[in-house]
Structure 1
């Protein structure tokens, strides 16, 4: 009963700390930057490991038992490789002062568990919640066998009832804490999505209401500037100023067109699109810019089928992505476009060898007014890409690594 009471108190403190910190971070839109999430998770789980050891119950002079494996397991699985290594070291270091033969058991279990978790980590994020619950619960049950049952027979303190209590509490606690973590994680993702959608709605309404009002006077200004430039008797400096003004007017007109496209992303004209032909047209348009920046364009077309969409908007998607890719390679590089068909979907992979993006930048890509071009960018280009692709029933996936380039995958449902 002493062991059961101690383990339940341990579980209570774990739950309280997890809930407390989640309330602080996720309420009132206080979201951690991506690069700090791993650090925060390491600190939180390290604190929980220390607290669990403080609340541990001695079963034998060499062995103490608690729920320290739960924060180690969850922190490692959700935090990735770096967090796994940090928590493994912390778990061993905080166990050292307690001494006893149990320290060697701890080191062995931590090393084996860490290797297993590192192997599972790439698969973990792609699986369902039920799979994650099953894996973490199984991990805990196996840990209880090798951490308690095996040494209990070896050192002669075997007590089946005590083992059953420890195993049931550890396994069920792991299941419950994992389930709670999944609920909090889903809430976090939904909150981020709600904030992003709210921003999109605001920009969409503004775009629809303002763009038309600005476009008409801008068209008039553009027309008069063109008339001025047609006169040959104007001074050279006036001709230069009018030419610059016309260029900026064209740029402003392009931005307004992007706003209008963002406000109305769904295709107005649905036709059958041959992706290969559209990509080749895009190459003709963007080719001079690529040549100017010493960028090689490589294209590989595997078997592709037709998709439905607006050819002008689809071309705009390709041009926006390719333009960003070329601008990310000011010293030259390679822009690759590969098309494939699988699972009733046509996929377009666009990859560059540019400077790449941090995980935080990737997460914010497509948000209103977010741009990597400092004062030169409005962030509209990728916003339009996301909106048009979603309007065509497709989706956009972005993967990037700093100094190694960016890869964008566009998936569209096949026509028919």
Structure 2
């Protein structure tokens, strides 16, 4: 499994780099078209602006993918992070899946102290929880994502309006290789997430009720500003 994950990371990084090449060509030719058209470019100003916006969006997504696939190139384990910023990064990565499932994210991101954890490890945990929520909400709905600070602890909550879980399933969700997704899941996502959060000195917990959705909470120690 670790070899498969490493291979996926290599492929993801390779694809992201390959996407950068045609994006650079699009951006360069767009600038050339503006120069060649001169004043006539004003006639399609709005269309050019929309292309600019979408090219920029592609660049942001590729950047986040590279951060996710090649953590050693972008951040170290000792970095102090703004958890709200990482949440926004993860929403960029999962926007297609959430929109495709008819899910509307509702953010409640309070200013908090930083937390000390690898950026890509926290991304991995949050992305896994967001995708799990998408699978649990086949009819769409609102996905609440909240970040708050209380004393020396930062809390990140992801709460869905999905199908929920009975007690016997809830009791096993952090067990390695336990999955309710059959062929779509490995059963490792939540187990690895728990391990990553624990390594950073934090905890991850879950509560759920059939028909009333699920709530996951990540608690991480705040970085001492001193």
User: Which TM class, normalised by the smaller chain length?
Assistant: 0.5 to 0.7
Counterpart position of 2:198? 390
- The equivalences for 1:17-416 within 5 A come to 211=3, 215=7, 269-416=77-224
Q: What SS does the aligned partner of 2:139 have?
A: coil
Shift, 1:215, TM fit: 4.4
Per-residue CA shift, 1:192-226, capped at 9, x if unaligned? xxxxxxxxxxxxxxx56xx28x949x97xx99xx9
Q: Is the 8 A contact 2:145 2:156 kept in 1?
A: yes
Q: Is the 8 A contact 2:148 2:154 kept in 1?
A: yes
Q: What SS does the aligned partner of 1:364 have?
A: coil
The runs of 5 or more residues in structure 2 that have no matched partner are 19-67
Higher helix share: 1
TM-score, length-normalised on structure 2? 0.67
* Cα distance in 1 for residues equivalent to 2:215 and 2:107: 14
Q: Is the 8 A contact 2:77 2:116 kept in 1?
A: no
* Cα distance in 2 for residues equivalent to 1:274 and 1:412: 12
Per-residue CA shift, 1:9-42, capped at 9, x if unaligned? xxxxxxxxxxxxxxxxxxxxxxxxxxxxxxxxxx
Higher strand share: 2
Q: Is the 8 A contact 2:197 2:204 kept in 1?
A: yes
| Aligned residue-pair number | 165
Per-residue CA shift, 1:105-131, capped at 9, x if unaligned? xxxxxxxxxxxxxxxxxxxxxxxxxxx
* Cα distance in 1 for residues equivalent to 2:191 and 2:100: 26
* Cα distance in 2 for residues equivalent to 1:405 and 1:384: 22
Q: Give the root-mean-square deviation of aligned CA atoms.
A: 2.8
Deviating beyond 2 angstroms after TM superposition, the runs of 4 or more aligned structure 1 residues are: none
Q: Which has the larger radius of gyration?
A: 1
